[in-house]
Structure 1
């Protein structure tokens, strides 16, 4: 991403204001004008819809959700159908769940939401959202980049599988209650080391592999690489537990427990050093086969983690029936838990569930110290995210672990 693209000047946005209360509308207009922007005011949403048939590429709409005739949800539905819709600032006197629902609806319609405000309004917060000038250019730049990304063919991906072009990077996890080298573990994340494109991330190949029915091949590559690397680390005196992601097709394969046992034996590894992660949404397949495979894996000493918890549709009864030993809270909740009461409530509930079901709880997507501190206070055992470290190649993980050990020793001294 070149800096000249992001920092080039953009015309000031035109701000549309919709609110049925005259005093609030006047106040909104004053804030807009104090921000050096032009405002157009509407008392009724249907007047806005009738008058505004098209938009330029740089507009903002401050929208009150509760209107007497046409409400804010209907406006969102209308904007989803127009060219170059304005970016949204949603306001409401209703409880936060209404604002959250409206925001999620707008995002589902691929609209851009600058933020939400609950009445009585924070004028400073509103002004900050209005002056957030970078939203539109960055959004367009990402769209342009995405449209220019090369799409790989099935033949290319098949060749990559056959030629062992897939590699593992490792993202550290930190145990909050431990100290020393044993406080760290790592998640194995697959990458494609493409001969001309460089390092390719999973969002560009996983869907195609799943569509072609090749997930078993990729899982086999990941398992073998992870086991071989862990064996090497152990010979070098590095003890670290690894988490490995497996797919829906893997957990219905009745031969998976034997495959894992054989792999551990061949590499002289203890089963307790491996955790297999299964995304919650993938548990909705053949439950009988899944229960068979997962239970036998636990009998062999392998830990099981339910990943992205809170984003799927598994019931608590189903969670209770599955033999998981670890619950991983989705980063969408963790990233917003400081300052968002609903996200915080969900994280608290997940930690409590983990405690009640005797499961370890891991929070992913931890990017700041405030979030890490709050998670520790709530009783979360382990954290993962950019605050701890970004994913890295195997050789760099060994160096990183050494640096952490030395740093911790200096702190204790």
Structure 2
């Protein structure tokens, strides 16, 4: 048995190729690996980006973690030291955060998130200002790493944090929609801009796009169109219902199979940054401001977008008569072959015969129905149960 630093029960395995859900990790973005699927121009631009180390918590995993995969996709929550600074007033305030034990201080008394052991850093918070409300997804590299110093979060606390962050998202959109509708209470709750110049950024109430009379006319036209189509159908009502039921059943089975294949092959979105992680929190002496993570990710997305336009992967509509001035890459001639290689596996799956639906095992359907985003208990259960089955099935097929 290997000696773990924080876990109450020791485990026989001291290394792991990917983090578990609810693990605190030291995280570093790899800009070059994030654009490795693009051209040399993108890779040279990525080498110029700064490299920082951050403290983060893995919130959710996507897909099935396998040693044969280069990456495993995760959603993370970033940690900061000290209260956040308002980055987008009036929507962000310095109290939009949750303290992490041993820190119990908060301007409005928000509850403290309690890991299995207090963090080795004081005055730490999970930030929930606007840049951190969206799901921060990344691709963690698959490599064996020492797991003995890991500091995990109890499942109850992880679930609580997820609910709190979801509430932050809902509150933000409610406030934005209320202001857009011109509700006086919502507008009065927002501080005035510091100067008349910044007032141009204040949202204005939205006007009604069309009147109710127009809606009635459009609805009547839609009903007429449906009745015309129905009159050309010479099938009986019962025959149409039976056909619809059979089609829906076949579509549902095929959808489950495609989702399961996507779940097995998922290595993350190519637009998400590639990161390396470590479990020893003592390797850093201070917590880097997580806003640098957001900025580096924005720069990586900009490099990816420019490369996709340059390689012809992404098409941009130009004004009439305008000519593209984008530089041509030497790899442009190989764009068509690259597209065929990088097509998602789901396109290949759609060419399967219909009788493949009948071979979909009940166990596969049950797993596929819950695919994509998994709680920590299901994640670890899949690692223990499905991975041996996957390897044994591969060996048998060979």
Shorter-chain TM-score tier = under 0.3
Higher strand fraction (1 or 2): 1
**Which structure is richer in relative contact order (CA contacts within 8 A, separation 6 or more)?**
2
What is the TM-score with the length of structure 1 in the denominator? 0.21
TM-score, reference length from structure 2 = 0.22
